[in-house]
């Protein structure tokens, strides 16, 4: 579901492909609802080893993130979110097409760009990849209402699947949209052109070997 709240466009889980039809790269959106952390080993377990995820993420969101959590004193197994921010999404690229296909996840949040596998998944299954501003882990933590469940704890704090309930989680900048357009890849073309020009300007100035 999508709700316009003040000047914010808020995605509320469950999110459908139709909800995302009018979302484009460069848009800034926010998220309410279910957001599970999921990174390297969890992707490998599902795709390479065929282990089913212990938490259903269909029409929900995942976060490429390894947080710092703290046990809530006086509880047996409840944790609070201390600091959570995105990790480099590109590490999950090789798994992401199959991952989206298998899980039905709708919103992928991470850092930096992803590649053709993710573009294909977003286009085929109606999903998006967004960037949460990296390094802004306290902002993100204050937007987590509660850690509802956690699984695969044996992987250690960063790799555990932390299943969060979030409220106005963002800003999320859309980097791959359901048309398969990729903000970073489009930017890279511009960056590379500018880089070549910059190199040409530097070369004549650094002829220190005579």
Partner 1 sequence: MTKEENVKKLTDMVADFVGFIGKKLPDDVVAKLKELGDKETDPLPKVLYETMTRNQDLAVALDRPSCQDTGVIQFWLKCGTNFPYINELEALLKEAVVQATFATPLRHNSVETFDEYNTKRNVGKGTPTVWWDIVPNSDQCEIYAYMAGGGCTLPGKAMVLMPGAGYEGVTDFVLDQMTSYGLNACPPLLVGVGVATSVETAALLSKKALMRPIGSHNENANAAKMEQLLEDGINAIGLGPQGMGGKFSVMGVNIENTARHPSAIGVAVNVGCWSHRRGHIVVDKDLNVTCDTHSTWKFNG
Q: What value, to the nearest 5°, has the Cα angle with vertex 91 and ends 154 and 58?
A: 70
CB of 85 to partner 1, least distance (A): 5
Q: Is residue 17 close enough to count as binding partner 1 by CB under 8 A?
A: no
Active site residue 64: no
Q: Does 51 bind partner 1 (CB under 8 A)?
A: no
Pairing label, strands 28-37, 8-12: parallel
N-terminal to C-terminal alpha carbon distance within the chain: 66
Nearer to partner 1 (CB atom), residue 81 or residue 121: 81
Torsion of CA 107, 112, 116, 118, to 10 degrees: -20
CB 143 within 8 A of CB 96: no
Q: Does 197 sit near partner 1 (CB under 8 A)?
A: yes
Respond yes or no on whether the N-terminal peptide bond of residue 171 is cis (omega within 30° of 0).
yes
Site string for partner 1, 26-45 (x = CB under 8 A): x-x-----------------
Work out whether 111 is an interface residue with partner 1 (CB under 8 A): yes
Instruction: Pick the stretch among 43-51, 54-62, 97-105, 193-201 that binds partner 1 (CB under 8 A).
Output: 193-201
Q: Is 201 in the site for partner 1 (CB under 8 A)?
A: yes
Hey, which residues between 58 and 87 contact partner 1 (CB under 8 A)? Answer: 65-68, 70, 82-85, 87
Residues that bind partner 1 (CB under 8 A): 26, 28, 65-68, 70, 82-85, 87-88, 90, 111-113, 131, 133-139, 141-142, 155-159, 171, 173, 175, 183-184, 187-188, 190-192, 194-195, 197-199, 201-203, 205-209
């Amino acid at each position: 579901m999508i709700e316009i709240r003040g000047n914010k466009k808020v995605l509320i889980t469950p999110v459908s492909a139709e909800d995302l039809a009018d979302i484009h790269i460069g848009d800034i959106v926010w998220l309410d609802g279910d957001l599970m952390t999921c990174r390297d080993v969890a992707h490998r377990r599902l795709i390479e080893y065929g282990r089913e995820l212990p938490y259903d993420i269909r029409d929900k969101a995942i976060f490429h993130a390894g947080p710092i959590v703290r046990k809530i004193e006086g509880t047996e197994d409840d944790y609070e979110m201390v600091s959570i921010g995105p990790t480099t999404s590109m590490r999950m690229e090789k798994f992401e097409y199959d991952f989206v296909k298998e899980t039905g996840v709708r919103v992928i949040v991470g850092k930096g760009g992803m590649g053709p596998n993710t573009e294909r998944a977003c286009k085929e299954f109606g999903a998006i990849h967004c960037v949460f501003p990296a390094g802004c882990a306290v902002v993100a933590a204050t937007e987590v209402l509660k850690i509802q469940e956690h699984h695969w704890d044996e992987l250690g704090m960063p790799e555990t699947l932390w299943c969060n309930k979030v409220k106005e989680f963002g800003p999320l900048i859309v980097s791959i949209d359901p048309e398969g357009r990729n903000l970073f890849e489009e930017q890279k073309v511009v960056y590379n052109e500018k880089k070549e020009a910059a190199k040409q300007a530097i070369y004549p100035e650094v002829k220190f070997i005579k």
